[in-house]
Amino acid sequence: MTPRGLGVNSSLSEASALGNMSTADTKKAMAEAQVAVQIYTEYFGEASYKRLAITQQPAPNFGQSWPGLVYLPITYFLDSTARKAFGASADRLGFFTIVGPHEIAHQWWGHTVGFQSYRDQWISEGFAEMSASIFIQLIQSQKNLDPYHKFWADERFLLNREDNQRKKAYETGPVTLGYRLVNGKSGGSVPRLLIYPKGGYILQMVRYMLRNERSNDPDVDFKRMMREFVKKYTNQVASTEDFKAVLEKYMTSEMDLGGNHKMDWFFDEYVYGTDYPKYKFEHSFKADGNGDTIVHFKLTQSNVSENFRMLVPLYVETTDGRVIRLGGARLTGNNSIEQDFPLKGLQGKPKRLVAAYYDDVLGDFENK
């Protein structure tokens, strides 16, 4: 069960016309579900449930997923005029965009693969949230990646919201404390502000660390890993450490920041820890003696603990719109790395360099 309380205000606005009040048109929901099931099956393998029913529920501000059944909020089926009459006009933080793909993804996360305890529930919510971003990237971002970037910008916005203690959501506690973080001091909004977006980011970083640019399908290794995880834990419960063990089978040498072929460094920082890094990236181009382009860059990591390590992917965008991963910059603690880097063999002209172009690192980025 997965409420997404985004606070749709249900007070009736006097001035607005009511619009079409029918909630009987399920074409959009059906189409969305068919495409989402196809995408998730490709990424995660078969779900346990071969049949999926989608229907409305009276609650206006959240959906729910059950095995083989998804409830969408009644507001989802209203047109924008009717939503406005209910004070739910603004697609606040992309609620109406995400709610379908998120709830459908729970057929995998939560239902096909269960979670062992409340400490592992972030897998269900976080993975469902990240699955929605794959849907948004593949279906709604075909013209450009704006909807995809907006999705992740919204997730960062939530993580930076303050709880009742005036702490940023990311400071409230690690995702593995789960719903225990809800108490009189922190307030009830912590799961939505922390567990969904941060859990989503954890899997997002895994996806892009496994990105294989040599393959026609850069997600090929990520898909293999996810399918193995799903297959192994179908109709069973999985723990945080179970997921880590499967990931360690697939990790590349570049991901081995700890030098022990373990993902301890990553889990200690993001899953069991509360750091939220900030990055500043500056760069400029110059030509060397042979007319080749050299890029000069400086990347600064701040707002982290002393031993916090990260591999920040750097991408070059060419003037003809291609985006190519150049490599990863390793940083430890509150530190900078500054370097000249020859862009040899690059096809096309470089337009700019971008750190974490795909929103593939948790944290706030200033790209210059």
Q: Which is nearer to Zn ion, 70 or 128 (CB)?
A: 128
- DSSP code for 106: T
Q: Which is nearer to Zn ion, 4 or 211 (CB)?
A: 4
Buried (b) or exposed (e) across 288-299, using 16+ Cβ within 10 A? eeeeebebebeb
Shortest distance, position 324 Cβ to Zn ion, whole Å: 34
Shortest distance, position 193 Cβ to Zn ion, whole Å: 14
Q: Which is nearer to Zn ion, 36 or 361 (CB)?
A: 36
Shortest distance, position 131 Cβ to Zn ion, whole Å: 10
CB 107 within 8 A of CB 47: yes
Maximum distance among all Cα pairs of the chain, rounded to whole angstroms: 70
39: tokens are 């995408």
Q: Say which amino acid occupies 141.
A: S
User: Cα separation of 225 and 12, whole Å?
Assistant: 48
Shortest distance, position 240 Cβ to Zn ion, whole Å: 17
Shortest distance, position 89 Cβ to Zn ion, whole Å: 23
Shortest distance, position 125 Cβ to Zn ion, whole Å: 5
How open is the CA angle 191-193-198, to the nearest 5 degrees? Answer: 85
Shortest distance, position 265 Cβ to Zn ion, whole Å: 28
CB 105 within 8 A of CB 128: yes
Q: Which is nearer to Zn ion, 93 or 128 (CB)?
A: 128
Residue of closest CB approach to Zn ion: 2
DSSP string, 176-232: GGGGGG-STTT-TTHIIIIIHHHHHHHHHHHHHHS--TTSSSTTHHHHHHHHHHHHH
The contact set with Zn ion (CB under 5 A) reads 2, 125, 128
User: Cα separation of 163 and 181, whole Å?
Assistant: 11
45 Rama class: left (phi>0) / alpha (psi -120 to 50) / beta: left
User: Cα separation of 139 and 133, whole Å?
Assistant: 10
Alpha helices in 259-308 (DSSP H): 264-266
Q: Which is nearer to Zn ion, 83 or 106 (CB)?
A: 106
Question: What distances in angstroms separate CA 37 from CA 95, 103, 188, 201, one per listed residue?
Answer: 19, 11, 31, 21
Q: Which is nearer to Zn ion, 121 or 137 (CB)?
A: 121
Shortest distance, position 128 Cβ to Zn ion, whole Å: 5
> In this structure, how many other beta carbons lie within 10 angstroms of the beta carbon of residue 65?
24
